[in-house]
Structure 1
């Protein structure tokens, strides 16, 4: 549940930025621009920013609650506890960066705000996979790789590089692309973690690790290309995305023939 709320917060943040609502609420933080004590939005742009903050507040409570529960419950894997506690420690940093996007709104602060949110998402994704690891099989590796193969072309198609020749890179398009971004990131994390647990082939596990590295590069280059509109970055983005697609396909083929571990020895 916490992972879902974190993902929703990221996408709502993208919506606020894409609609130019980041400086709505009359640039007040944490207040807005209407109602008692200026706690509520006065117009639609302010609503986007206000609703993003509202969901982010619940995400913060969920993160803190998950961390406290993970530490207090004796049957929780210590690795899971460490991951969610790290997410909790990053939360006040993310809140402070959110405030700075309103009071200063520089590109560097905006980038830090985004990547900190992505890091929290990754921490909770890894923790979730660890929790479900005993139930995840080699079939889930294939499914994760297949999912990555399907969504990766959408990541490119929804970028300004392609969609800009068809229609505007609107707020809905940006939310869709970043939704694909989170799905892509989740798929490579699942494939890599479960693959390392279920297969003995060093070649396969190395290939799965490569998908994670390449996916991070695709996401980074895709975002840089959006922010800078640099033709060189556009070309590099497409090239790395194509390499990742090929890696996904090879990974699916290798999963079918790779030897399984005789036991679930943890890596």
Structure 2
């Protein structure tokens, strides 16, 4: 039994030693983010059902494995990248589980992402076979949860390289993402008149940038600064970022004046919190 365990571990350890687990995790995170944005593109272009509601097949080629036209290609390519993202998630989880040198918190996060992956696959199938807004929303938020888990795991793995300047930069990224998120939304106060597929893709890109920025800032701030006021600002910004991401999506889907007002108010509060946190990093005591 021990011989089999030792032999099976030999394959992963040279792989991790050659490419590095942090790089494997970063590549997996990039694939997860790409899958989310490609899914947004497929939805925004109306391509979600373009494969004639086939899943996992499409509508052309041998056994209907390939797309027949451009709309089908959007959906097919989303599934194609999602397949590699799923393999990368599983590979990261197995590598973390098999390597005793990897932080157990990281292992728990990536294994949790692996557990959610088949659920996400089933939800992806249901968006094709049923396509209800509830299923679509659950599919999106499950993907965002996986993305957030891998952001946290990646920050933990790269924690030794994280400096105080990176915290300020992450706060700056969040501060840029907030107005972009609002400006690209279909609100009366926004700068757009047509919520086009490109606009939707950019807005959801801003969502991922916002979540990644606030996670990096919140985690790095606690490691690199010894300042209670900054810690409080980072905690508030984390909560507000989640509220803005949620209300922003709800505002797009429901077109409620009350919801729009709450969304804009939360975005302004978050922007102010980011600004205050950036100023505080200039004077706070570093560790």
Q: Check whether TM > 0.5.
A: yes
Q: Structure 1 residues 130 and 214, CA, compared in 2 at 3 Å: closer, same or farther?
A: same
Structure 1 moving runs of 4+ over 4 Å = 162-165
Q: CA RMSD in A?
A: 1.2
Deviates more, 1:200-209 or 1:62-71: 200-209
Shift of 1:146: 1.2
Shift of 1:84: 0.4
Question: Is 2:176 the partner of 1:150?
Answer: yes
Q: Which of 85, 89, 92 is equivalent to 1:66? A: 92
> Which residue of structure 2 aligns with residue 243 of structure 1?
269
Q: Is the Cα–Cα contact under 8 Å of residues 159 and 226 in structure 1 kept in the other structure?
A: yes
DSSP-derived class of the 1:28 partner: coil
CA deviations over 1:57-110 (Å, ceiling 9, x no partner): 000000000111111112111111111000000000000000000011000000
Question: Is 2:44 the partner of 1:44?
Answer: no
Query: What is the alpha-carbon distance in structure 2 between the residues aligned to residue 9 and residue 57 of structure 1?
Result: 9
- Count of residues in Structure 1 that have an aligned counterpart in Structure 2: 261
Shift of 1:253: 1.1
Q: Mind listing any 5+ residue stretches in structure 2 that lack a counterpart?
A: 1-26
Q: Is the Cα–Cα contact under 8 Å of residues 14 and 175 in structure 1 kept in the other structure?
A: yes
> Which residue of structure 1 aligns with residue 101 of structure 2?
75
Deviates more, 1:223-232 or 1:155-164: 155-164
> Which residue of structure 1 aligns with residue 223 of structure 2?
197
Q: Which of 199, 207, 210 is equivalent to 2:236? A: 210
Query: What is the alpha-carbon distance in structure 2 between the residues aligned to residue 84 and residue 249 of structure 1?
Result: 32
Q: Structure 1 residues 75 and 30, CA, compared in 2 at 3 Å: closer, same or farther?
A: same
Query: What is the alpha-carbon distance in structure 2 between the residues aligned to residue 164 and residue 258 of structure 1?
Result: 35
Q: Is the Cα–Cα contact under 8 Å of residues 184 and 191 in structure 2 kept in the other structure?
A: no
Q: Is the Cα–Cα contact under 8 Å of residues 156 and 162 in structure 1 kept in the other structure?
A: no
Deviates more, 1:106-115 or 1:138-147: 138-147
Query: What is the alpha-carbon distance in structure 1 between the residues aligned to residue 83 and residue 194 of structure 2?
Result: 31
Q: Mind listing any 5+ residue stretches in structure 1 that lack a counterpart?
A: 262-267
> Which residue of structure 2 aligns with residue 264 of structure 1?
none
